[in-house]
Chains A and B, each alone.
Chain A
């Protein structure tokens, strides 16, 4: 297992100035267990055209870990055995993974809602040629990471020129009907803070982004704002910049017990690029598999039983701070 983990996950953990997440749950009389599993999340690999500074998976152009054809077959077979309400395909940049088009085409009839997560600019890469049109044809919902409407914050996370390029892709998507009322083509945006602070009020951010992007002729459906998980490249930056301790303290101080009930890990099963099952995408980065040990998607007949404990680590504080990650 250790050979496939991102660098940040192999290093010795730095002491964190907060009680363990499990201890916090116990002190408050809370338990984090699975509810009804409704969503299949598939991480098709860490290959990406960007090197985002907040990436919990340390994805990038040099990462060789991508889902092989036989693993895709196993995922499709699992999605045929269990009809999920949602299938959520993520990465890296899934658009760049060989065989992604056929994979999406096979998944689309198996679920009422197929989601493709995109960093937007990957849709313009040669490897993704025509994928936008195919997604429109199959009614794939797009969830695009779009950190900020301001170049200084956006480019700080993603690299120079990202904002301008991603606006161009949003215009292309708008041209395809994405985000337009009545089109049935959903385009949601995901915003992460550009640093060691928490996101603000999601509804107000959505209103502000809609006004700003609307002036540029771009529409979208919903905006979701989530805290950065202290894992991978973001954790490395926290350590280097001296922000690790204050960030954990911030997450701990803003622990909101009301978030536990709706946490996405309660209703989702995540498959990593090599077919291993996890309770969420952050646990892939943390190397915490679902259940009692490493298990392949091909061995799973149904969904995990309700009441099964969820593997946790201190990165879970990122999902329970403030409004939480639901």
Chain B
């Protein structure tokens, strides 16, 4: 192993079912149902997944959902805005904890 991440691992995702097939089956069935057309379109879901992929910083997901977004007709401007939504939430989540920090600091300060 030369790196922790290998792009070919994505193709082998199904192998995760080898020693726990029942759980993998349930997961992949659920996964397929989540991304099926529903109240949200497949295109909307792919954009959400792309944003979340950046939040969890999963290179496999970024690879897969960049391609999925393009295939579903999204353009780079839309995809970049989706990543900014992820960045705003992630940054905002850090910053809003600053309120907790301030309250703790104030509670123990003169």
A-B interaction: yes
| A152 surroundings in chain B (CB, below 8 A) | 75-77
Q: What does the 1/0 interface line of B62-93 toward A look like (CB < 8 Å)? A: 00000100111101110000000000000000
* Distance in angstroms between the alpha carbons of A307 and B72 in the assembled complex: 36
| B42 surroundings in chain A (CB, below 8 A) | 200-201, 204
* Distance in angstroms between the alpha carbons of A197 and B68 in the assembled complex: 9
> Does B55 have its Cβ within 8 Å of any Cβ on chain A?
no
Instruction: Judge whether B71 and A204 touch: CB under 8 Å.
Output: no
Instruction: Judge whether B77 and A200 touch: CB under 8 Å.
Output: no
Which of B41, B73, B75 is the most central at the interface, judged by chain A CB atoms within 10 Å of its CB?
Answer: B73
> Does B43 have its Cβ within 8 Å of any Cβ on chain A?
yes
| B71 surroundings in chain A (CB, below 8 A) | 193, 197-200
Q: Interface residue count for B (Cβ, 8 Å)?
A: 11
* Distance in angstroms between the alpha carbons of A148 and B77 in the assembled complex: 13
Q: Which residue of B lies closest to A156 (CB)?
A: B76
> Does A195 have its Cβ within 8 Å of any Cβ on chain B?
yes
Q: Tell me the minimal C-beta distance from B36 to chain A in angstroms.
A: 12
Q: Which residue of A lies closest to B67 (CB)?
A: A197
- Dominant secondary structure at the A interface: loop
Q: Which residue of B lies closest to A205 (CB)?
A: B73
> Does A153 have its Cβ within 8 Å of any Cβ on chain B?
yes
Instruction: Judge whether B41 and A197 touch: CB under 8 Å.
Output: no
Instruction: Judge whether A204 and B41 touch: CB under 8 Å.
Output: yes
* Distance in angstroms between the alpha carbons of A105 and B76 in the assembled complex: 43
Instruction: Judge whether B73 and A208 touch: CB under 8 Å.
Output: yes
* Distance in angstroms between the alpha carbons of A195 and B67 in the assembled complex: 10
* Distance in angstroms between the alpha carbons of A197 and B72 in the assembled complex: 10
> Does A215 have its Cβ within 8 Å of any Cβ on chain B?
no
Q: Interface residue count for A (Cβ, 8 Å)?
A: 15
A148 and B43 in contact, given A195-B70, A197-B67 (Cβ under 8 angstroms): no
Q: Tell me the minimal C-beta distance from B62 to chain A in angstroms.
A: 15
* Distance in angstroms between the alpha carbons of A99 and B67 in the assembled complex: 43
Q: What does the 1/0 interface line of B26-59 toward A look like (CB < 8 Å)? A: 0000000000000001110000000000000000
* Distance in angstroms between the alpha carbons of A35 and B41 in the assembled complex: 36
Q: Which residue of A lies closest to B70 (CB)?
A: A197
* Distance in angstroms between the alpha carbons of A199 and B43 in the assembled complex: 12
| B72 surroundings in chain A (CB, below 8 A) | 200-201, 204
* Distance in angstroms between the alpha carbons of A157 and B43 in the assembled complex: 22
| A150 surroundings in chain B (CB, below 8 A) | 75-77
In chain A between 266 and 303, which residues have their CB closer than 8 angstroms to a CB of chain B?
none
Q: Which residue of B lies closest to A200 (CB)?
A: B72
Instruction: Judge whether B75 and A153 touch: CB under 8 Å.
Output: yes
Q: Please give the residue numbers on chain A whose beta carbons come within 8 Å of chain B beta carbons, in ascending order.
A: 148, 150, 152-153, 193-195, 197-201, 204-205, 208
Task: Show 28 residue pairs from A and B whose CB-CB distance is below 8 angstroms, ordered by the A residue.
Answer: A148-B75, A150-B75, A150-B76, A150-B77, A152-B75, A152-B77, A153-B75, A153-B76, A193-B70, A193-B71, A194-B70, A197-B70, A197-B71, A198-B71, A199-B73, A200-B42, A200-B43, A200-B72, A200-B73, A201-B42, A201-B72, A204-B41, A204-B42, A204-B43, A204-B72, A205-B73, A208-B43, A208-B73
Instruction: Please name 15 further chain A to chain B contacts, defined as beta carbons within 8 Å, in addition to the given A150-B77, A199-B71, sorted by A numbering.
Output: A193-B70, A194-B70, A195-B70, A197-B71, A199-B73, A200-B42, A200-B71, A200-B72, A200-B73, A204-B41, A204-B42, A204-B72, A204-B73, A208-B43, A208-B73
Q: Please give the residue numbers on chain B whose beta carbons come within 8 Å of chain A beta carbons, in ascending order.
A: 41-43, 67, 70-73, 75-77
